[in-house]
C-alpha cells in the first residue's frame, strides 16, 4: 500500500485551484503517456512538470531593440486604438503603443473593445509582456500575457518561470495550480546517502523541488543545475532500483535446464545457404548455456539492422522444443508475425517442428483450434503479437519466450509473457534498434546482453543521398528507370492522410500520384488498413507483382524483401535518426546495389542538418544511436514515444548519463546491504519507489 503521506500527491489535479472538468482534460493531454492515454492528471504531475525557461522582467529593452521570437517586458505609452470594422470579427483589434525608440502594435483576435479600453487607457503608461514578432520591419505582440499599471507591475515578481504548455492552457492558471501543488509536497525522509549528497552539494528533495519551480536565472532551468540534477538522480535511482528488483524476482524462482542432443539444430543449420557469423555463433553459445543452466535466462540480444538476430532466436526456440518444451516468439506487428511464420515454418520443416501463428485476426473456430493444439503440445513454436499473453492462451509447457523489438514492450509485459509458463520460462529479448549504453541501462538494466557486431555475408552497403524535395520529379524519373530494369522500391511518407496543420506529404496522396505515373505497379500499406489487405499488398510486393510500395513507418521493423534495392523517404528531416536507420535497413538485404534517398523540405534547422549528415556518413547503428540520443534525447529516440520506453519527467539521458551509472552502482550497494529495504534508508527508498510510481517493484518485495 502506498504510504498515506503521499496520498495528497496522487489526488486528482481537480483539487488544485482553477482546475475544473474542462482543464483536467487539457492537463491529461499535456501529461498523458503513450501506453496510458486519457489518465486523469494528478497533483504530482504538476510537480514533475518543471519550467523550461524564465521571464526576466528586470531587463526591459526599448521597443526598437525587442528581440524576435522572445518574451520581453516593455514599458510603453498607450497610443491609438484601431478596432475592426463592425460585423467583421475576423479582422483583429489593434492598439498602437510607443516609447522614445519606436512603436509596437498589440494585436487581439475576437477581442472586446470595452475591456481593452479599460486595460489600455489612452495616453497612460503600461507594462506589457509577451512574445515579440517583427512583421514588415515593425514589431507586434499578439495577445500579451500581461498589461499592467505601475502599481500592478510593482507587485509582479521580476523572475517568472515559463512552463511547457499545450493548447487551451492559461500560463497564469497553470502557474497558480503548480504553486499549490509544490506547497502540498509533504516532508519526506531522506533516501539518498548523506555522503553522496554532500559530495554533489545537493540539498534535500523538498528544497530541490522548490528551487526547480522557482528559477532565479536562465541557468537554473538547465538539466545540469544542482536542483534539477538531484531530482533527475532521484528518478534514475527509482528506475534502477525497480529494474534490479524485477531482475532479482525473475532470477529467484528456480529455472529449469533445457538442453537436447542438438540434432534438431543441426537439421536447421544444414539447410541454410550460408554459415552463421562469428558473433551469431557466440550469441547462440551464450543463449544455449543460459538455457542449459538451472537458473532462468533473462538475456537481451542486441544487433544492428540485418545482423541476423532471427537465426539466433530460431536456434534457441528449436533447442527448447528439442528439450521437450515449447517456444513463443512475440513481435510488435502482424506484418512481421506473418513474415516470421513463412520463414520459420520453412526452416523448421527439416527438424519436424510445427510452427503456428496467433494474432488478433485469428478468431472463432480457427483460434480455438490453435489454442487446443497449443494446450496439447502439438504446436512447438507459436508466433504472435500481444495476443500471446492474453487470457485463454495456455501452453502445454512453455520453456522459452522470445520477444522481438523489445523497446515496444514494457517490463510488465515481460512478466506477463512469463506467467504463461508458471514463472519458469527462459526469456530472450531482441532489438534491432541499437541502444546507447545509458538508454540500455534504463530499458534493459535487468538483463544480460549479447551483441551481434557483424552483418551476414552478402549484405550490401547502401548508398545514401540527401536531396531537397524540389528535385522530386528527378527522383520519380529515376524510380521509373529503376523499375523498368526490374528493381523494387520502398517509398515512405510520414502521414496517412493530409493534415491542414502540417505540410507532410500523405502516403495516400503519394500513392495516387505514383499510381497514375506507373499504372498497376504501385501498392499502399499503412497502419489503418485491415490486416488482410496489408498482407495482400505485401505479398504482391514480395512476389514482384508490384514494383513500388508506398508506406508509412509500418514497414520500419523487420520487413524483409531482398529484391528491394531503393528506399525513398519523404520529409526525412521529420524522422529521428534511429528510425531513418531502421527504414534504410529495409534495403541492401540482397545481392543488388542499393540506394537510400532522403528527401527534405527546407529550410533545415541545425538538428535536422546534423541528422541527415550523420545518415550520409555512416551505416553503423551504434554510432547513429549515440548521436540520436545526443540530438533528441531519450523521450523521442525510439520513434514517437514508443510504449515500454521509460518516460522520464526529470532525467535527461543525453545529459545525465553519469548519474545513471552512479544510480546503478548505488542500487547494487543498497540491495547488497539491505536486500528487503527494511532499514531506515530502505523504508525511505520504498517511499521513493511509490513516489515515482514503481509500485510493481514494491509488490515484488512484498512477495518475498
Nearest to 130 by CA among 109, 106, 99: 106
Right CATH for 462-618 from 3.40.190.10, 3.30.70.600, 3.40.50.300, 3.90.1150.10: 3.40.50.300
- What rounded mean pLDDT belongs to the chain? 86
Q: Please, where are the H alpha helices in 184-277?
A: 194-200, 205-212, 226-252, 263-270
So what CATH class is 256-452? Answer: alpha beta
**Residue 701, CA distances (Å) to 246, 254, 694 in order:** 9, 17, 12
Q: For the chain, report the end-to-end CA distance as a whole number of angstroms.
A: 15
**pLDDT-derived band at 698, boundaries 50, 70, 90:** confident
Interval 425-438 mean pLDDT: 77
CATH of region 58-156: 2.40.50.140
Q: What pLDDT was estimated at residue 448? A: 81
Q: What pLDDT was estimated at residue 637? A: 44
**pLDDT-derived band at 530, boundaries 50, 70, 90:** confident
Q: What pLDDT was estimated at residue 645? A: 46
Edge-to-edge strands, sheet with 398-403: 355-358, 381-384, 326-330, 398-403, 426-431, 298-303, 448-452
Least confident of 21-35, 64-78, 348-362, 665-679: 21-35
More confident residue, 243 or 227: 227
Per CATH, 58-156 and 462-618 having the same topology is answered no
Residues 6+ apart with CB under 8 A from 242: 411, 689, 694, 696, 697
pLDDT tens for 272-283 read: 888 898 999 999
Q: Is 301 helix (H, G, I), strand (E, B) or coil?
A: strand
Residues 6+ apart with CB under 8 A from 135: none
Cβ atoms 357, 338 nearer than 8 A? yes
Interval 491-504 mean pLDDT: 61
Q: What pLDDT was estimated at residue 591? A: 74
Cβ atoms 694, 242 nearer than 8 A? yes
Quick one: how far is CA 567 from the chain centroid? 24
pLDDT tens for 128-180 read: 988 899 988 899 999 998 899 999 998 888 888 989 888 888 888 999 999 99
Q: What pLDDT was estimated at residue 443? A: 64
Interval 342-353 mean pLDDT: 92
**pLDDT-derived band at 347, boundaries 50, 70, 90:** very high
Listed by start position, the domains of the chain span: 4-53+179-221, 58-156, 256-452, 462-618
Paired residues of 549 in beta bridges: 490, 523
pLDDT tens for 577-618 read: 878 888 898 888 777 789 999 999 878 888 889 889 999 998
Give whichever of 37-46, 181-190, 632-641 has the largest mean pLDDT: 181-190
Pairwise CA distance, residues 469 & 272, whole Å? 42
Interval 678-702 mean pLDDT: 88
Q: What pLDDT was estimated at residue 491? A: 95
Paired residues of 629 in beta bridges: none
Paired residues of 488 in beta bridges: 564
pLDDT tens for 543-557 read: 899 999 998 876 655
Interval 74-82 mean pLDDT: 96
Pairwise CA distance, residues 29 & 470, whole Å? 36
**pLDDT-derived band at 92, boundaries 50, 70, 90:** very high
Least confident of 295-304, 350-359, 377-386, 461-470: 295-304
Whether residue 415 has pLDDT greater than 60: no
Amino acid at each position: 500500500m502506498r504510504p498515506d503521506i503521499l496520498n495528497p500527491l496522487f489526488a486528482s489535479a481537480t483539487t488544485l485551484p482553477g482546475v475544473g472538468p474542462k482543464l483536467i482534460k487539457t492537463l491529461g493531454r499535456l501529461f498523458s503517456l503513450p501506453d496510458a492515454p486519457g489518465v486523469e492528471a494528478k497533483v504530482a504531475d504538476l510537480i514533475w512538470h518543471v519550467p523550461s525557461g524564465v521571464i526576466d522582467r528586470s531587463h526591459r529593452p526599448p521597443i526598437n531593440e525587442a528581440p524576435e521570437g522572445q518574451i520581453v517586458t516593455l514599458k510603453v505609452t498607450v497610443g491609438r486604438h484601431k478596432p475592426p470594422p463592425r460585423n467583421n470579427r475576423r479582422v483583429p483589434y489593434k492598439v498602437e503603443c510607443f516609447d522614445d525608440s519606436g512603436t509596437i502594435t498589440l494585436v487581439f483576435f475576437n477581442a472586446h473593445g470595452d475591456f481593452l479600453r479599460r486595460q489600455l487607457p489612452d495616453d497612460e503608461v503600461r507594462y506589457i509582456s509577451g512574445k515579440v514578432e517583427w512583421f514588415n520591419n515593425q514589431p507586434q505582440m499578439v495577445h500579451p500575457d500581461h498589461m499592467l499599471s505601475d502599481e500592478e507591475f510593482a507587485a509582479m515578481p521580476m523572475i517568472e518561470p515559463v512552463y511547457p504548455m499545450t493548447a487551451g492552457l492559461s500560463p497564469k492558471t497553470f502557474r497558480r495550480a503548480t504553486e499549490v501543488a509544490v506547497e502540498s509536497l509533504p516532508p519526506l525522509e531522506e533516501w539518498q546517502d548523506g555522503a553522496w549528497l554532500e559530495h554533489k552539494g545537493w540539498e534535500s528533495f523538498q528544497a530541490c523541488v522548490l528551487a526547480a519551480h522557482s528559477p532565479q536565472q536562465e541557468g537554473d532551468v538547465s538539466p545540469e543545475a544542482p536542483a534539477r540534477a538531484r531530482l533527475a538522480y532521484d528518478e534514475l535511482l527509482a528506475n534502477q532500483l525497480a529494474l534490479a528488483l524485477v531482475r532479482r524476482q525473475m532470477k529467484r524462482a528456480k529455472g529449469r535446464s533445457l538442453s537436447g542432443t542438438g540434432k534438431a539444430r543441426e537439421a536447421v543449420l544444414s539447410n541454410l545457404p550460408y554459415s552463421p557469423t562469428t558473433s551469431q555463433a557466440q550469441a547462440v553459445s551464450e543463449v544455449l548455456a543460459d538455457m542449459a543452466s538451472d537458473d532462468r535466462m533473462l538475456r537481451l540480444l542486441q544487433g544492428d539492422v540485418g545482423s541476423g538476430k532471427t537465426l539466433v532466436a530460431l536456434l534457441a526456440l528449436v533447442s527448447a522444443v528439442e528439450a521437450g518444451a515449447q517456444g513463443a516468439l512475440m513481435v510488435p506487428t502482424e506484418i512481421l508475425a506473418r513474415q516470421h511464420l513463412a520463414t520459420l515454418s520453412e526452416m523448421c520443416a527439416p527438424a519436424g517442428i510445427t510452427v503456428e501463428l496467433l494474432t488478433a485476426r485469428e478468431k472463432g473456430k480457427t483460434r480455438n483450434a490453435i489454442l487446443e493444439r497449443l494446450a496439447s503440445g502439438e504446436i512447438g513454436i507459436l508466433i504472435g503479437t500481444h495476443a500471446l499473453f492474453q487470457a485463454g492462451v495456455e501452453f502445454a509447457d512453455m520453456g522459452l519466450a522470445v520477444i522481438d523489438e523489445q523497446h515496444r514492450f514494457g517490463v510488465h509485459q515481460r512478466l506477463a509473457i512469463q506467467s504463461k509458463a508458471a514463472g519458469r520460462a527462459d526469456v530472450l529479448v531482441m532489438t534491432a534498434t541499437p541502444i546507447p549504453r545509458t538508454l540500455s541501462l534504463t530499458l534493459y538494466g535487468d538483463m544480460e546482453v549479447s551483441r551481434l557486431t557483424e552483418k551476414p555475408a552478402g549484405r550490401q552497403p547502401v548508398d545514401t543521398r540527401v536531396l531537397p524535395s524540389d528535385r522530386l520529379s528527378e527522383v520519380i524519373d529515376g524510380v521509373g528507370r529503376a523499375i523498368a530494369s526490374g528493381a523494387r522500391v520502398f517509398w515512405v511518407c510520414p502521414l496517412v492522410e493530409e493534415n491542414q496543420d502540417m505540410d507532410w506529404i500523405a502516403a495516400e496522396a503519394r500513392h495516387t500520384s505514383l499510381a497514375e505515373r506507373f499504372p498497376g505497379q504501385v501498392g499502399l500499406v499503412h497502419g489503418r488498413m485491415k490486416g488482410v489487405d496489408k498482407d495482400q499488398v505485401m505479398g504482391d510486393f514480395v512476389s514482384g507483382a508490384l514494383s513500388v510500395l508506398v508506406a508509412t513507418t509500418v514497414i520500419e521493423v523487420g520487413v524483409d524483401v531482398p529484391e528491394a534495392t531503393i528506399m525513398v523517404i519523404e520529409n526525412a528531416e521529420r524522422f529521428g535518426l534511429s528510425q531513418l536507420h531502421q527504414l534504410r535497413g529495409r534495403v541492401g538485404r540482397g545481392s543488388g546495389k542499393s540506394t537510400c534517398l532522403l528527401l527534405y523540405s527546407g529550410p533545415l534547422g541545425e538538428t535536422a542538418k546534423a541528422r541527415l549528415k550523420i545518415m550520409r556518413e555512416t551505416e553503423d547503428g551504434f554510432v547513429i544511436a549515440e548521436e540520436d540520443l545526443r540530438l533528441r534525447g531519450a523521450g523521442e529516440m525510439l520513434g514517437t514515444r514508443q510504449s515500454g520506453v521509460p518516460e522520464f519527467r526529470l532525467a535527461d539521458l543525453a545529459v545525465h548519463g553519469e548519474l545513471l551509472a552512479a544510480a546503478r552502482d548505488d542500487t547494487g550497494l543498497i540491495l547488497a546491504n539491505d536486500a528487503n529495504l527494511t532499514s531506515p534508508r530502505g523504508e525511505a527508498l520504498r517511499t521513493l519507489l511509490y513516489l515515482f510510481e514503481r509500485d510493481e517493484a514494491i509488490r515484488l518485495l512484498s512477495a518475498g
